[in-house]
Amino acid sequence: MATRIDRKFAALKAEGRPALVTYFMGGDPDFDTSFKIMKGLPGSGSDIIELGVPFSDPMADGPAIQAAGLRALKKGMSLTRTLEMAARFRETDETTPIVLMGYYNPIYIYGVERFLKDAVRSGIDGLIVVDLPPEMDEELCIPAIKAGINFIRLATPTTDDKRLPKVLQNTSGFVYYVSMNGITGSALPDTSRVAAAVERIKKHTDLPVVVGFGVKTAEQAKVIGSAADGVVVGTAIVNAVANTINPDGSLVADPAEAVATMVQGLSSGVRASRLAAAE
Amino acid sequence: MNTVVEPNSFKTGPDEEGMFGIFGGRFVAETLMPLILELQQAYDDAKNDPSFKAELQALSTHYAGRPSKLYYAEGLTRHVRQLAREQGLDGGAKIYFKREDLNHTGSHKINNCLGQILLAKRMGKTRIIAETGAGQHGVASATVSARFGLPCVVYMGATDVERQKPNVFRMKLLGAEVKPVSSGHGTLKDAMNEALRDWVSNVEDTYYLIGTAAGPHPYPELVRDFQSVIGTEAREQILEREGRLPDTIIAAVGGGSNAIGLFHPFLDDKNVEIIGIEAGGRGLDGDEHCASMSAGRPGVLHGNRTYLLQNKDGQILDGHSVSAGLDYPGVGPEHSWLRDTGRVSYVPILDDEALDAFQLTTRTEGIIPALESAHAIAYAVKIAPKMAQDKIMIVNLSGRGDKDVHTVGQLLGMDI
Ligand SMILES: Cc1ncc(COP(=O)(O)O)c(C=O)c1O
């Protein structure tokens, strides 16, 4: 059965351009502002939304996303409220895929079955759970697939050709290639190596391959976008939010507007990719 | 939690997937997966290589000073018998200390570090990273790194850097770089997060030398194996001294490495009572303790499923203990399994009780114990008076207390 994610990639393929995948932290700086950010994303050019679920111990994230998660938790964000945010978004948007991204423990404590039921009901289309490698597929991946939710896996430079089939085995929706070994927010590596890596993964799968980690500017989005089926931007968006917040928590500018401006720029980069690729 | 079928042996875990029942596993980011599979392969090879065993044995003997002594704590035994008499009893079990405090670097941590540095060398790794709470593991890591000529980076919570200053200085002298971590409460959990972040960023050359029997498989297994020398020796030593096995063995549980090291060789000795002591902090009513098995519930953190202190949303709590080495909201997965099977009991000891035991041991034995070990001693002193005089108890004296004199001095209002 084609999911909302499958349909989105099919539509983009027809359009002949890569997807812009935008990550933001649910509940940062607070629920209402964050919801406003989310609602503005499709209009600014985001094709797929990655909704970050805050966790106290984000072991794969750099300082920017760590801080965003803590801000959200301080304001009472939780997995329950993150699902609520998705459900409210769905009330007015039937087409933009939502991928929840986070760590396993909040889901485990919520209860896997109950979580999947509520996720489906909230219009969640996919899951990225950083600390669930294929070795742990029985935990959530298999039940999620049964519930009709895509389980999106990260592939990294350490995932060699021998391991790739295992990583891809139960992956659906798309493959998220993490362009470097490191935490979120690190510098973008050599783009030619990224293209080679995407080619390598595509030899093993027909799924779309999107690339993330380190993309910050429209120009980078354009270059990466010409080599992949999509570009993920996370830390740059999280930083755009952070830059509107004073140390005392008050706002110097509208976070939703700051994110919209940022995403519009990235979107122009991604839309230029088709032309770049055709050149 | 759930009912667990009693196994024929308690020593067979973990299974191929790294599970002890529902606990353990490999909950790590994909970047790290190939690394821990490589480590597992290297460890399996090493286990079957006599030269690895021989090298570790030689270092343990000539460098670390093993075997560590099993010491009859006569002064403390006299004290518990006095306590018994005051309660109108004629009991007072005989207390032995397994003297891990006498090892090179002053704690059991060196046992694990020697094993792992040899593994790192076999794997061709050229850079060592470690996390530390009390600083004992950091010192032991810095020590073996110096010995084998490898650069070493130690992550340490900023709070711990403050309360374990002598160890910070020791690490620096040994040539290690100490990186303070200020996220969270700046304790062991945060140091571990940061070490994992370093590891995913430096996968090619770096070996992560985990300091306790936790983390993703195969760490809980290999740390346990390297620490089991404690229990293996203690078992032989007590048989030689007393002609029989002990009635009770006790150890403090932070991540659980000194405890599993003492316990494991005794797990199938049905008549030996085994007790792990958790940090009760300021009491289990609030959040100011680190008694994950007494007051937490199973969850997933740092690569494994285990008992964790967490809120109802699955966010991990920071916890508190007067002892930096016990200040961790989780515990190694094998302990979680031993708890659920009922083979081992886990009991909290409060900050104040540990402080009392610290002073008591200093005065009655002329031994300054680590605050971690003082938790185990405190419980021994609690139950020994109610046990008959012919009962035998072994307490793991996991480390020396020199590192804690500042903390204790401050708490007692002494000028230092
Ligand atoms: C002397 C001593 N004992 C015990 C511990 C607790 O660790 P574990 O539970 O791994 O033995 C530490 C940790 O730093 C320690 O230094």
Residues, chain B? 416
Peptide bond into A29 cis (omega under 30): yes
Residue of B nearest to A79 (CA): B313
Please tell me whether residue B29 adopts helix, strand or coil conformation.
coil
Amino acid A189: pLDDT:
67
Tokens of A70: 């803590």
Atom of ligand 1 nearest to the CA of B326: 6
- Helix axis angle, A255-278 to A235-242, nearest 10°: 150
B189 is catalytic: no
Region of poorest pLDDT, from A95-109, A204-218, A262-276, B308-322 = A262-276
B188: its two tokens: 């062991």
According to DSSP, the β-strands at B392-397 and B94-99 are: parallel
Indicate the SS3 state at residue B231.
helix
Query: Two tokens at B90?
Result: 């004629």
Cβ atoms within 10 Å of B312's Cβ, excluding its own: 10
> Does residue B227 carry a pLDDT above 80?
yes
Say if CB B335 and CB B271 are below 8 A apart: no
**What percent of chain A is modeled with pLDDT above 70?**
97
Proportion of chain B above pLDDT 90, given as a percent:
94
Q: Quick check: B178 and B169 in contact, CB under 8 A? A: no
φ/ψ region of A266 (left if φ > 0, alpha if ψ in -120 to 50, else beta) reads: alpha
Q: How many CA atoms lie within 13 A of A131 on its CB side?
A: 29
* Partners of residue A129 in chain B, C-beta under 8 Å: none
Predicted confidence at residue B272, as pLDDT, reads 98
Separation CA A227–CA A274 (nearest Å) = 10
Q: Determine contact: A186 vs chain B, CB below 8 A.
A: yes
pLDDT greater than 80 at residue B114: yes
Residue from A6, A47, A50, A118 carrying the catalytic annotation: A50
Q: Which of B98, B109, B125, B403 is flagged as catalytic?
A: B109
Burial class from Cβ neighbours inside 10 Å (0-12, 13-18, 19+) for residue B199 reads: buried
- State both tokens at B263: 């316990």
- What Rg do the C-alpha atoms of chain A give, in angstroms? 17
On the question of pLDDT at B185 being above 90, the answer is no
* Structure tokens that stand for B170 in this block: 């020791």
pLDDT at B4 over 70: no
Q: CA of A61, closest CA in chain B: separation in Å?
A: 8
Cis-peptide, bond into residue B67, ω within 30° of zero = yes
Tens-digit pLDDT profile for residues B8-43: 899 999 999 999 999 999 999 999 999 999 999 999
Q: How many Cα atoms sit within 13 Å of A269 on the Cβ side?
A: 24
ipTM entry: 0.95
What is the predicted pLDDT for the residue at B58? 98
Q: What is the pLDDT of residue A277?
A: 54
A183: closest CA among A214, A205, A210?
A214
Catalytic-residue membership of A61: yes
Within an 8 Å CB–CB cutoff, is residue A110 touching chain B? Answer: yes
Give the pLDDT confidence score for residue B204 in this predicted structure: 92
Residues of B with CB under 8 A from a CB of A: 17, 25-35, 183-184, 189, 193, 196-197, 200-203, 299-303, 305, 308, 310, 312-317
User: Under 8 Å CB-to-CB from B383, ≥6 apart: which residues?
Assistant: B93, B248
Whether B129 and B195 have beta carbons less than 8 Å apart is answered as yes
Answer yes or no: are the C-beta atoms of B162 and B173 closer than 8 Å. no
Is B1's pLDDT higher than 60? no
Decide: B257 and B112 in contact? Cβ < 8 Å.
Answer: yes
Specify the higher pLDDT residue, A123 or B406. Answer: A123
CA A247/CA A250 separation, integer angstroms = 7
Look at residue B7 in the predicted model and tell me its pLDDT. Answer: 80
- In terms of Cβ atoms closer than 10 Å to its own Cβ (0-12, 13-18, 19+), residue A268 is middle
The stretch A14-33 carries a mean pLDDT of 97
State yes or no: pLDDT of B150 exceeds 90.
yes
pLDDT exceeds 80 at position A275: no
Closest CA to B251 of B280, B271, B231: B231
CB contact under 8 A, A104 and B27: yes
For residue B317, list chain A residues with Cβ-Cβ distance below 8 A: 56
Please state, rounded to an integer, the average pLDDT across all residues of chain B.
96
**Residue owning tokens 């690569």:** B303
User: Which has the minimum average pLDDT: B133-137, B238-242, B271-275, B276-280?
Assistant: B133-137
Size of interface A-B (CB pairs under 8 A): 113
Give the residue from B129, B300, B312 with the most A CB atoms within 10 Å of its CB, the best one to mutate.
B300
How does the average pLDDT of chain A come out, rounded?
94
Cα-based angle A242, A20, A217 (whole degrees, multiple of 5): 55
Spatial separation of the C-alpha atoms in residues B327 and B287, rounded to whole Å: 12
| CA–CA separation, B380 and B378 (whole Å) | 5
- For residue A61, count other CB atoms closer than 10 A to its CB: 25
Contact B313 A62 (CB under 8 A): no
- Indicate the SS3 state at residue B279: strand
- The ligand 1 atom at the shortest distance from the C-alpha of residue B100 is 1
**Whether residue A222 has pLDDT greater than 60:** yes
3-state secondary structure of B310: strand
CA distances from A217 to A230, A234, A264, B217, B326 (A): 14, 11, 11, 39, 45
| CB B381, CB B357: distance < 8 Å | yes
Summarize the confidence of residues B127-139 as an average pLDDT.
Answer: 96
CA distance B23 to B40: 18
CA dihedral B349, B351, B357, B360 (to 10 degrees): -160
Of the two residues A243 and A277, the one the predictor is more confident about is: A243
Whole-structure pTM value: 0.96
Strand partners, B278: B348
Residue of B33, B129, B192, B202 best to disrupt the A interface, most CBs of A under 10 A: B33
3-state secondary structure B120-144: HHHCCCCEEEEEECCCHHHHHHHHH
Share of chain A above pLDDT 90, in %: 86
pLDDT at A214: 82
Would you state the pLDDT for residue A187? 74
Q: What is the pLDDT of residues A144-195, one digit of tens each?
A: 999 999 999 999 999 999 999 999 999 999 999 998 888 887 776 677 888 8
Rounded mean pLDDT of A205-220?
92
The yes-or-no verdict on residue B3 having pLDDT over 70 is no
Crossing angle of helices B371-383 and B74-86, in 10° steps, is 40
Report pLDDT digits (tens) over B338-358.
999 999 999 999 999 999 999
